């Protein structure tokens, strides 16, 4: 069964500090997808990134960067020079994929979320 | 592209009453999902539609819950004989058809409070 662990329940930093949110996952599949979502106080989940299991290249998007390491089953998220607007709950999620006999890859739709990390950035 | 919309945004009901929520996905997204999120937890998958067909249903979804997507566009989630334990945020998400990607885009949610 797939499982996502976000060990950090809450993190508090001062503006302009860098912060890393940890995500560790478990899956038996060799093909899967990992996601990060942001949930600001307004409540709506905002998609940040999707990464498939074959692509271990780290990604940088502005102040955001992601470090995917299959060897440790981790998909960590770093915010550089944090800002007050970054304050939110951040969720890591995993979705497994099933390859059918005709090699037509199908994505399982049962996305599993971690419990989330509440990030507070103080001015 | 106006995003996923959900109505109502808030619903307060008494135990034992029936409630119905609506989700309008992003246009041309043929896949639609329902999740439930309780305070301090991540969303939990409830059910999934591809077009009008309900293809997956979680064990979390008791017989009091029913979801429909009759024309493959909007979807409704009905809870019959509500219980206090049903109080949660109900989230809807949609994603485009293969192979355009499988990222799920979420609506603002419907917050249900059962008194």
**Distance, CA of A52 to CA of A56 (rounded, Å):** 8
How many Å apart are CA A33 and CA A15, to the nearest integer?
A: 31
pLDDT of B100: 63
Residue in B42, B56, B102 nearest the CB of A114:
B42
Instruction: Spell out which residues of chain A touch residue B42, defining contact as CB-CB under 8 Å.
Output: 4, 91, 93, 113-116
Strand pairing category for B53-57 and B65-68: unpaired
- Chain A hits for B105, CB-CB cut-off 8 Å, are 47
Residue by residue, pLDDT tens for chain A (123 residues) are: 569 999 999 999 999 999 999 999 998 888 888 999 999 988 889 989 888 888 888 888 899 999 999 999 999 999 999 999 999 999 999 987 654 433 444 445 567 899 999 999 999
Tell me how long chain B is: 115
Cβ distance of A47 and B105 shorter than 8 Å: yes
Of A1 and B80, the one with more pLDDT: B80
User: Which one is predicted more confidently, B59 or A117?
Assistant: A117
What pLDDT sits at residue A109? 56
Say whether residue B74 is in contact with chain A using an 8 A CB cutoff.
no
- Is residue A97 within 8 Å of A106, Cβ to Cβ? yes
Q: Tell me which of B1 and B77 has the higher pLDDT.
A: B77
Instruction: Provide, rounded to the nearest whole percent, the portion of chain B with pLDDT above 70.
Output: 95
């Amino acid at each position: 069964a797939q499982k996502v662990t976000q060990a950090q329940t809450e993190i508090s930093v001062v503006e302009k500090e860098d912060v890393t949110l940890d995500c560790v996952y478990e899956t038996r599949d060799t093909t899967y997808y990992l996601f990060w979502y942001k949930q600001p106080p307004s409540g709506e989940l905002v998609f940040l990134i999707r990464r498939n299991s074959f692509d271990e290249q780290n990604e940088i998007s502005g102040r955001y960067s992601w470090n995917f390491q299959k060897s440790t089953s981790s998909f960590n998220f770093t915010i550089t020079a944090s800002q007050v607007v970054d304050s939110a709950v951040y969720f890591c999620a995993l979705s497994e994929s099933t390859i059918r006999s005709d090699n037509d890859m199908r994505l399982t739709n049962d996305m599993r979320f971690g419990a989330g990390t509440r990030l507070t950035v103080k001015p | 592209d106006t995003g996923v919309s959900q109505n109502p945004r808030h619903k307060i009901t008494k135990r034992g009453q029936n409630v119905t929520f609506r989700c309008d996905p992003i246009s041309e997204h043929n896949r639609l999902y329902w999740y439930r999120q309780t305070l301090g937890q991540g969303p939990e998958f409830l059910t999934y539609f591809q077009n009008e067909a309900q293809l997956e249903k979680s064990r979390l979804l008791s017989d009091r819950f029913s979801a429909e997507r009759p024309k493959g566009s909007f979807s409704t989630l009905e809870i019959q004989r509500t219980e206090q334990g049903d109080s949660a945020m109900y989230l809807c998400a949609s994603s485009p058809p293969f192979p355009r990607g499988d990222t799920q885009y979420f609506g603002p949610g419907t917050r249900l409070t059962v008194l």
